[in-house]
A and B are shown apart, each in its own frame.
Chain A
């Protein structure tokens, strides 16, 4: 009975948790409500993934109204992965947030913080699960509005400008997506994704479809922070409360990438997107310049959060490059990297969160000899940093091996070579920080900040959970690879 309602519960649970938080208002209680809701959502997502993998695609008519009248939730392996990833990362960062929110967010507003978090989660999950193009936009707005709010909770006043800049960029992106969907509706008369996929081949020659495609591509590129439309990301990541950064880094851009995948492959179909629209001619250079340039830019950052933010844009470049291959192995590599990068980047931002919690800032130059004071945090940073570089036995290796293998298979050896070049930049930007934290002894003229000790357990444990998972996925990469390759097959196969 309940097993049939899982797709709806996935959204309803966090959505109800949000107003509940506002009603309860007490900080700890709100956190507990959010956490319980989140744990339920994780279990739910896990059950969905299992169901999809055993019984195949789930099509769920919301409220019993069948498509095209009602909204349909469409779950295949691809979205099930996204649901699990988003809800899991949210759950872990929520545990992490407890201590850091107490320190950074104004006490009276905690309930709003957790309510916004739940709304953001609802939005992200909704985007991932829905099978209706317009519904994507609705959930996108829910998550975006909640995100602006979460960003503005940053203790620094610059958080407000960062949030406002993201609001402008995000709204532009969302409007573009809305326009795109509007044109599609005008050309085909459908909003349901499955219907759209069926009708687009007949309407392909219409200019409206072409315009819709362009608007959607640009809008989603903004939301996914694909180079050169990544401008909002660095400021947002730097000034947001660090738990929010950790949460968004692992989920928000990844969900937008998922929507890109869904539109390019399932709805328009790879032949149209990459054949007629020459998407790889446009997107691939952007992706490549993105991962090369932004890895280079990351080397010169002075703030740890900013460095990681630019590294995120570079990693998004890898994922987009993998999509552009438009082959089974290329998509598999991209999807695996969505998972892997989501996990390590969240872990990295958590370690930065621990540093900020104790040191009070994340200025790279003043983190001398941190290893002596916070060994566990620094170790976590090193392990996930190695993952960013792609050292064997970390998840990064799995991603890069499959990405380069896929590009060689396609015959684009140059892409593979450039990925390696950018990995070399990653060695430099990770190595530079590690060298300072481990080997540079603190200068005598700067006074020791008081209370320098290891971060509290409530922050360390969730961080190490993620590190453990990343190591597990790194050593036994076939687990994630097999799921990702199922998802890739589902995407390339189109809607049944």
Chain B
């Protein structure tokens, strides 16, 4: 199995999207779903190959003299690839309901860029070296830019400018020099078990600086102060916010950091030199501060965006703690948070389409009108908080365990405090919807979202619960990571 195959379905479907266009909307979206299923199948094949211990890799293109583009599969990447391709299918189904219900314009361009972004995410997931990952990372920024500015009005253009400026400045101004520095110091950019910097004879100060360049340069991980693009990007249509700005794009950021810590720096180097201790406080600050900001947001999507920032920093924190348990937890949290957060975003979009409401304060009593959506929102929120019976509990447990393993209970305290904050800003939403009487009495029946959207919401919610009951396959897969 060649990981290059994963690029084909999303790329090949683009001509069909253009060909079918607005005139044959069902065919267009059918083609995307078909491509998504094929992609999922390919990822599943790679998954079984990797779990059977086979080597899955592609050929290479020498882009620079000693550095090449190349794809290969390793456990974290397989997990990420599976996640993104599964959610692509679900999100496409959801979009059918949302985009038509909302009468969005330029849907063909929307679906094209979406497919292109997925292809780039696949390249990032299976990147064999840092150069490939960097290339894919940049490509994701560029291919998602038209999605942020989709509406074409002033607000979205302003948001798009911020999006491009922060992400590109971060990646070209900080991340690229880090990559070049690594290349000159280690002489290679390959991802190797145990890292490549251990033998590079770098002083502690320069290692810490390099790490800071990486963590802040990967703006997609939204560690403060590089986080502003994420709330701004919420002007995009909800499916984009759901798949890209809660899963694919932001997770590429934290995935990059996980890969850097595991395969470039090496967890032993990070933990033995303690270089992460300079950055961890910033990350911890992000966790708490963005939770607090989420409180103040009345706009539902904005609150979810800040919640995402906080959750992303969990993963960055897990990576920086640099123990096997915490990094496993971080990788797992990519999946767990993805299902929880995408459910919440789907619900937010559903509310927007059927009730035309975007603010939390307007949701009083709406549980009677959209009971299924609200129940799903509740379960998704539990997943984010990390309470049974939703999936987030396992990854949080691992990260918490990892912080103890790293010998510092302070970070555990940060996690727990943030969990309390999560409860306080997420749970009131469904509670208000169910138990507070609406401002104007309502006697009509259900006004649920369009059927495809509702289907998508139930699927992600179900997975949320399933992953709570059966987390073992994930743990087994991540158990294959070669740490040293």
A residues at B contact (CB < 8 Å): 386, 389-393, 398, 400-402, 404-405, 408-409, 416-417, 420-421, 423-424, 427-428, 431, 435, 439-441, 474-478, 481-482, 485
Contacts and interface: CB of A to CB of B under 8 A. Distances in A.
Interface in B162-189: 164-165, 168-169, 172-173, 176-177, 180-181, 183-184
A398 B172 contact: no
A475 B168 contact: no
Given A416-B177, A417-B177, A427-B169, A435 B161 contact: yes
Contacts of A427: 164-165, 168-169, 172
Nearest to B184: A408
Given A404-B180, A481-B64, A439 B160 contact: yes
B72 to A, nearest CB: 19
Question: Taking chain A's interface residues, is the majority helix, strand, or loop, or is none over half, making it mixed?
Answer: helix
B65 A485 contact: yes
A476 B138 CA distance: 18
Contacts of A428: 165
15 contacts: A390-B172, A391-B142, A401-B176, A427-B165, A431-B164, A439-B149, A440-B157, A474-B63, A475-B61, A476-B61, A476-B62, A476-B63, A477-B64, A478-B65, A485-B65
B152 A439 contact: yes
Contacts of A390: 172
Interface string B128-141: 00000011001100
Contacts of A482: 65
A130 B437 CA distance: 90
A393 B140 CA distance: 13
Contacts of A416: 177, 180
Q: Classify chain B's interface size.
A: 20 to 34
B173 A421 contact: yes
Nearest to B141: A391
A481 B172 CA distance: 21
Nearest to A405: B180
A392 B138 contact: yes
A476 B69 CA distance: 9
Contacts of A389: 168, 172
Contacts of A423: 172-173
Given A393-B135, A481-B64, A420 B176 contact: yes
Nearest to A482: B65
Interface in B100-124: none
A423 B173 CA distance: 8
Nearest to A426: B172
B108 to A, nearest CB: 14
Interface string B53-87: 00000000111110001000000000000000000
A478 B62 contact: yes
Contacts of A435: 157, 160-161
Given A420-B176, A427-B164, 7 more contacts: A391-B138, A393-B63, A393-B135, A401-B180, A408-B184, A439-B152, A477-B63
Given A391-B138, A427-B165, A439-B157, A478 B64 contact: yes
A92 B181 CA distance: 38
B233 to A, nearest CB: 15
A485 to B, nearest CB: 7
B156 to A, nearest CB: 9
Nearest to B66: A478
Contacts of A485: 65
Given A424-B173, A435-B157, A475 B63 contact: yes
A405 B184 contact: yes
For A391, A424, A441, the residue with the greatest tally of chain B CB atoms inside 10 Å of its CB is A391
A356 B19 CA distance: 31
A420 B152 contact: no
Nearest to A481: B65
Nearest to A400: B176
Contacts of A402: 64
B420 to A, nearest CB: 40
Nearest to B174: A420
Contacts of B149: 439
Contact of A441 (B152, B165, B180, B184): B152
A408 B181 contact: yes
A474 B61 CA distance: 11
A-B pairs, 7 with minimum CB distance? A392-B135, A478-B62, A408-B184, A404-B180, A392-B138, A481-B65, A477-B63
For B135, B180, B181, the residue with the greatest tally of chain A CB atoms inside 10 Å of its CB is B180
Contacts of B142: 386, 391
A405 B177 contact: no
Nearest to B69: A475
B180 A408 contact: yes
Contact of A404 (B134, B157, B169, B177): B177
